[in-house]
């Protein structure tokens, strides 16, 4: 199949492009390179286009026949979304709407969409399944939930087939490849922990130790980026047999606190990690852990990385080299 990977120069999108190429799919990457990296586009052609520029989108679709679109383009920082909600609704909602309109004009009727655990807001259960109430507590989560609603409406009106995959905490890097997580500024825990370990970044700031968790620090469900890519491939297959709009939560179903991540990173790197305890970060729920039973049952998805240490090892290998 020929797949358009929107946001394929970014962290998860570049892993997706590699995963598709490994399975002999043809890949075209669409990216505006605002946060993505040209060096990360190692599989397939790069088409520079911006979702907010309809003409550039049409040019990307002209002369190319895509069987499906995987859509990773987004602004994705919770704190920034609270400061600048217009930018988030523009990029994530208007941008996606433009993409969907362009797909429709060009007869492409399959989409796998990057959604997020942030659509749920504060959890009311130990593990979050798909039926959990969706009450986002920040514009980032709200923007993704709005798109999920658009996808449901588009299924009814235009016959769009879609799967929204709600990632919990994407982590790690492909162990065989020269791609990995590189954000500027870097706000995510695992890159910041490993850069503190390697001395390539500052001492870690731990945001809050007064949460209602066993050690007081926030608990998250870390899922390897190649496992996310595999779920996308399976979602594409799922759309062969299933019309409509679908959503799945993707995580390992096991939570690790910030302190546990630090301890595991110290074990994996053999380095002491300097850190300070800081006030809570705005918008952080205490615990976010997925129930991914639906993805396991419907997609046959079984994460290959079900422990934290191997995930950290792949991330560490990337951060040691980090070519971009
Ligand atoms: N953290 C630190 N220090 C850091 C970075 C993070 O203590 O330098 C803590 C955070 O406060 C949080 C945990 O580590 O408790 C994980 O933070 P990340 O930034 O790595 O990830 P988030 O859990 O904030 O983000 C994830 C997804 C988002 C989603 C969000 C919902 O990546 O897409 O959960 O809350 F929106």
**Overall residue count recorded for the chain in this entry:** 324
What digits encode the pLDDT tens for the residues 296-321? 999 999 999 999 999 999 999 999 99
Whole-number Å distance between alpha carbons of 166 and 168: 7
One of 11, 88, 140, 222 is an active-site residue; which one?
Answer: 140
Residue 319 is predicted with a pLDDT of 96
CA 259 to ligand 1 center in whole angstroms: 13
pLDDT digits (tens, 9 = 90+) for 242-282: 999 999 999 999 999 999 999 999 999 999 999 999 999 98
Query: In the chain, which ranges are continuous DSSP H helix?
Result: 11-22, 54-61, 78-83, 85-88, 95-105, 139-158, 189-198, 225-241, 258-269, 293-299, 308-321
Q: Is 140 a catalytic residue?
A: yes
Report which of residues 322 and 93 the model is more confident about: 93
Spatial neighbors of 320 by CB under 8 A, at least 6 apart, are 198
Q: In the predicted model, what is the mean pLDDT of residues 93-108?
A: 98
Cα(309)–Cα(33) distance, integer angstroms = 31
Its CATH architecture, for the domain 189-220+253-321, is: Alpha-Beta Complex (3.90)
- What is the overall mean pLDDT for the chain? 97
- In the prediction, which pLDDT does 283 show? 81
* Ligand 1 lining (C-beta closer than 6 Å): 76, 78, 116-118, 140-141, 169, 187-189, 192, 204-207, 218, 220, 258, 281, 284-285, 288
Atom of ligand 1 nearest to the CA of 261: 14
Angle at which helices 95-105 and 139-158 cross, to 10°: 20
- pLDDT attached to residue 266: 98
- Check if the beta carbon of residue 250 is closer than 8 Å to that of residue 296: no
Note the pLDDT tens digit of each residue in 106-125.
Answer: 999 999 999 999 999 999 99
184-215 pLDDT, tens digit each? 999 999 999 999 999 999 999 999 999 999 99
Q: To test ligand 1's pocket by mutation, which of 116, 192, 220 has the most ligand atoms within 8 angstroms of CB?
A: 220
pLDDT at 206: 98
Boundaries of every domain in the chain: 2-171+222-250, 189-220+253-321
pLDDT over 90 at 323, yes or no: no
| Per-residue model confidence (pLDDT) at position 177 | 83
Q: Which CATH superfamily is domain 2-171+222-250 in?
A: NAD(P)-binding Rossmann-like Domain (3.40.50.720)
pLDDT at 133 over 90: yes
Given this model, what pLDDT does residue 282 score? 84
pTM above 0.95, yes or no: yes
Give the separation between CA 176 and CA 178, rounded to whole angstroms. 7
User: What percentage of the chain has pLDDT greater than the value 70?
Assistant: 100
User: What is the ipTM score, two decimals?
Assistant: 0.96
Instruction: Give the pLDDT band of residue 176 (cuts 50, 70, 90).
Output: confident
Question: Order of strands, edge to edge, in the sheet holding 110-116?
Answer: 45-48, 26-31, 2-6, 68-71, 110-116, 161-167, 245-250
Instruction: Please give the Cα distance from 250 to 129 (Å, whole number).
Output: 10
């Amino acid at each position: 199949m020929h797949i358009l990977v929107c946001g394929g120069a970014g962290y998860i999108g570049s892993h997706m492009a590699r995963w598709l190429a490994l399975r002999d799919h043809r890949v075209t990457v669409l990216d505006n390179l605002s946060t993505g990296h040209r060096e990360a586009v190692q599989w397939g052609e790069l088409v520079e286009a911006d979702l907010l520029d309809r003409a550039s989108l049409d040019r990307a679709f002209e002369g190319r026949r895509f069987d499906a679109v995987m859509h990773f383009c987004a602004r994705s920082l919770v704190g920034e979304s609270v400061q600048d909600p217009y930018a988030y609704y523009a990029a994530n909602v208007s941008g996606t709407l433009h993409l969907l309109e362009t797909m429709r004009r060009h007869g492409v009727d399959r989409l796998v969409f990057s959604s997020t655990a942030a659509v749920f807001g504060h959890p009311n259960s130990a593990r979050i399944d798909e039926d959990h109430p969706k009450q986002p507590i920040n514009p980032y989560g709200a923007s993704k939930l709005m798109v999920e609603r658009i996808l449901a409406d588009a299924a009814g009106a235009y016959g769009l087939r879609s799967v929204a995959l709600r990632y919990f905490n994407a982590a790690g890097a492909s162990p065989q490849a020269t791609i990995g997580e590189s954000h500027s500024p870097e706000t995510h825990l695992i890159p910041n922990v490993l850069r503190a370990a390697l001395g390539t970044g500052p001492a870690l700031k731990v945001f809050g130790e007064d949460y209602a968790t066993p050690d007081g620090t926030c608990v998250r469900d870390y899922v390897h980026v190649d496992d996310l890519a595999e779920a996308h491939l399976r979602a594409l297959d799922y759309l062969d047999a299933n019309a409509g709009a679908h959503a799945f939560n993707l995580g390992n179903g096991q939570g690790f606190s910030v302190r546990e991540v630090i301890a595991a990173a110290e074990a994996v790197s053999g380095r002491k990690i300097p850190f300070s305890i800081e006030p809570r970060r705005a918008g952080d729920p205490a615990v976010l852990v997925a129930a991914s039973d639906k993805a396991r049952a419907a997609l046959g998805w079984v994460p290959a990385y079900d422990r934290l240490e191997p995930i950290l090892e792949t991330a560490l290998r990337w951060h040691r080299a980090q070519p971009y």
